[in-house]
Each structure stands twice: as C-alpha cells, then as structure tokens.
C-alpha cells in the first residue's frame, strides 16, 4: 500500500468512520457527514494533490515561491 493510500485511509477513518445503521436523528447526521466527505471533500483533496507541483530538493526554491503566491 502506498503512502498516499495510507493517508487517504487514515483520513477516511477519522472523518467518515464505520458504517452506521439505525433511524435516529444522530444516525442521519452521521450519514450526511459521511456522504459529504466521500463526495465533496475527498475528491477535491485528491484533485488538489494531483495538481500540486511535485517539489524535489533541486526545485524546492521554485516550489516555495509558487506556494507563497
């Protein structure tokens, strides 16, 4: 498993958690939160990571300048 996959799995565990079952208001809120992160936050985060410049030691100065803009 790659570091990226471990990162997303850890985020998913924190923000989404385990599947919940039931009919209470709290369970409905947990489902809404889970759906929000699965369909909104995680895809946007993945896209941002994919678009970010890959910084290496040789290009660190250039990458640092780009992130400050």
pLDDT at 56 over 80: no
Please give the mean pLDDT across all residues of the chain: 77
pLDDT at 67 over 60: no
pLDDT at 58 over 80: no
| Predicted TM-score (pTM) of this structure | 0.58
Instruction: With cut-offs at 50, 70 and 90, classify the pLDDT of residue 18.
Output: confident
| C-alpha torsion sign, points 24, 27, 33, 38 | negative
**pLDDT value for 42:** 87
Instruction: Read off the DSSP letter of residue 37.
Output: I
Question: Are 31 and 20 in contact, with CB atoms under 8 Å apart?
Answer: yes
Question: Are 34 and 17 in contact, with CB atoms under 8 Å apart?
Answer: yes
pLDDT at 21 over 70: yes
């Amino acid at each position: 498993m790659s570091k990226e996959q471990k990162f997303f799995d850890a985020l998913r565990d924190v923000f989404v958690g385990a599947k919940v079952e039931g009919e209470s208001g709290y369970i409905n809120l947990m489902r809404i939160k889970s759906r929000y992160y699965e369909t909104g936050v995680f895809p946007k985060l993945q896209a941002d990571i994919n678009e970010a410049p890959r910084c290496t030691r040789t290009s660190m100065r250039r990458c640092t300048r780009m992130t400050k803009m």
